[in-house]
Structure 1
């Protein structure tokens, strides 16, 4: 391990996230987001299990149990913020000494967590119902 703590910044959609990760020798496993516990902030429940899978997957798959994470997010919705945090967890693990190959091998899909997703929702156009959906054509 090269650092006692690490600060990483990243984005997803219109969400901006900044995390500070501490890796102590023993204990830990706590994540706070904007001063709240991660379960409370991300509204984790049986109705929305995907957010929990998104946020903890790199840490769980690489079997990192001793960490303290303080995250600060703003903008966007919960899923965008969760995916921004997920990208940051992976980036920070790479900086803490885990090799890129080891992360990719564990995650099986190459570059899934280590690259930013640039997909954004398209804006609605004038005269259309949605971004691309046109009103039904009537000949007469």
Structure 2
């Protein structure tokens, strides 16, 4: 077993790299505690959900580097990376995480804007006369 497990998680345009090692339950995201980085309680819980489900909140020290996208994308990226790290550490956690769909990379991306249109699908206002 490796001392430090490193995994990658992606969501939209966000990329999170997680370095997980046995410890006391400290979570550092971009050199800030998780409470400071994800100030919104819901986003923080969403990001740390894999730890809560596997009841390993106090067993690991986690260091996360996340960049790109916004808060929602970064939350999903961190969650996926932590879930992957947990399965790499303990294969029995895989069943719990898979059931909650935390090991699946969300494929949804922003659709590109097309020419002749205002946005990806929205058309310019039509004027009959």
Category of TM-score, reference length = shorter chain: 0.7 to 0.9
Output one character per residue of 1:20-57: Cα deviation in whole Å (capped at 9) or x when no partner. 10123xxx121111111112222x23xxx431232111
| 1:132 correspondence with 2:125 | no
| 1:30 correspondence with 2:29 | no
Counterpart-to-counterpart distance in 1, 2:96 and 2:70:
31
Counterpart-to-counterpart distance in 2, 1:132 and 1:15:
24
Name the TM-score, length of structure 2 as normaliser: 0.86
How many equivalent residue pairs?
127
Name the TM-score, length of structure 1 as normaliser: 0.80
Please provide the CA RMSD for this pair.
1.8
CA drift of 1:5 comes to: 2.1
| 1:41 correspondence with 2:34 | no
Which one of 95, 109, 113 corresponds to residue 120 of structure 1? 109
Within 5 A, what are the aligned runs for 1:95-114?
95-99=88-92, 100-105=94-99, 107=100, 112-114=101-103
The 8 Å contact of residues 16 and 77 in structure 2, kept in 1 or not, is answered as yes
Counterpart-to-counterpart distance in 2, 1:72 and 1:126:
36
Q: Which runs of 5+ in 1 are unaligned?
A: none
Q: Which runs of 5+ in 2 are unaligned?
A: none
CA drift of 1:128 comes to: 1.9
**Equivalent residue of 1:61, what SS?**
helix
Counterpart-to-counterpart distance in 2, 1:116 and 1:6:
19
**Equivalent residue of 1:16, what SS?**
strand
**Equivalent residue of 2:118, what SS?**
coil
Counterpart-to-counterpart distance in 2, 1:91 and 1:113:
9
The 8 Å contact of residues 9 and 79 in structure 2, kept in 1 or not, is answered as no
